Amino acid sequence: MLSVKPVNRFTLQQGKKKCIFIIDGSSEGFEEYYESIRTHFYNMAASFLIINNSPYHLPVCIDEKTILISKSTSIDYFYTFLDAVLQHDKQLFSPVRLSKSEYAVFQYWCAGYTAESIAELIGLNKKSVLNSKSRLLNKYGVQDKNSLLLIAKILFRNHIIEEPAHFPDSAKNINTQSSFI
């Protein structure tokens, strides 16, 4: 099991051209910290490894430089990952591809929209919207909604959809967490 210690400050050695950022995805202020690191160090980062505090799931490539791994991932994978990054193995970084409708459903779901609202907004039937959740879980290989929400925070960091101003009567007590149930 990986041990993650929160760090508020770090120093990069001068002359380093590529580095790997390992970030605890369950820490408070993760989104702001991750966005700050990506903004300032994107060109010098070989990759961003985000450790997810969740049950075991296979490593997931979210974008061209970001990989999400479970805290229960074996240390052997971690060493394999480091070797692959050092050898610039591009096969390691093949992000999960979503169709336009899966992307839209995922984005609206994370903003707290109900299946009925999403179906109305993007022109799918309700059953297709509900089936999208299981397809997303299968594509990303995660088993829990918190991992899916963490992926959404990373994936949609620049394209956030605002929560609806008012929910229909059937969705008054639904929040983002329970809409994935």
Specify the CATH number for the domain of residue 107: 1.10.10.10
pLDDT digits 0-9 by tens, 115-169 = 899 999 988 899 988 888 778 888 888 877 778 888 887 887 665 555 555 544 4
Residue tagged 């149930």 (tokens): 181
- Domain extent, residue 54, equals 19-92
pLDDT digits 0-9 by tens, 84-119 = 777 765 556 677 888 888 888 888 888 888 889 999
- In the chain, the number of structural domains is 2
Q: Are 170 and 114 in contact (CB under 8 A)?
A: yes
- Reduced to 3 states, what is the DSSP secondary structure of residue 144? coil
Residue 171 falls within a domain, yes or no? yes
Instruction: Tell me, yes or no, whether 118 and 137 share the same domain.
Output: yes
Rounded distance, CA 62 to CA 103, Å?
13
Residue 113 falls within a domain, yes or no? yes
Q: What is the pTM of this model?
A: 0.64
Instruction: Tell me, yes or no, whether 86 and 27 share the same domain.
Output: yes
Q: Using alpha carbons only, what angle is made at residue 50 by residues 46 and 53, rounded to the nearest 5 degrees?
A: 165
Domain boundary among 47, 67, 92: 92
Instruction: Tell me, yes or no, whether 80 and 124 share the same domain.
Output: no
Domain boundary among 71, 92, 113: 92
Residue 3 falls within a domain, yes or no? no
State the alpha helices, DSSP H only, in the chain.
Answer: 30-41, 75-86, 100-110, 115-122, 126-140, 145-155
Q: What is the Cα 132 distance to its own chain's centre?
A: 17
Torsion, Cα 162 164 165 169, to 10 degrees, reads -160
pLDDT digits 0-9 by tens, 114-125 = 889 999 998 889
Residue 8 falls within a domain, yes or no? no
Residue 117 falls within a domain, yes or no? yes
**In what helix (H) or strand (E) does residue 49 lie, and over which residues does it extend?**
strand 45-52
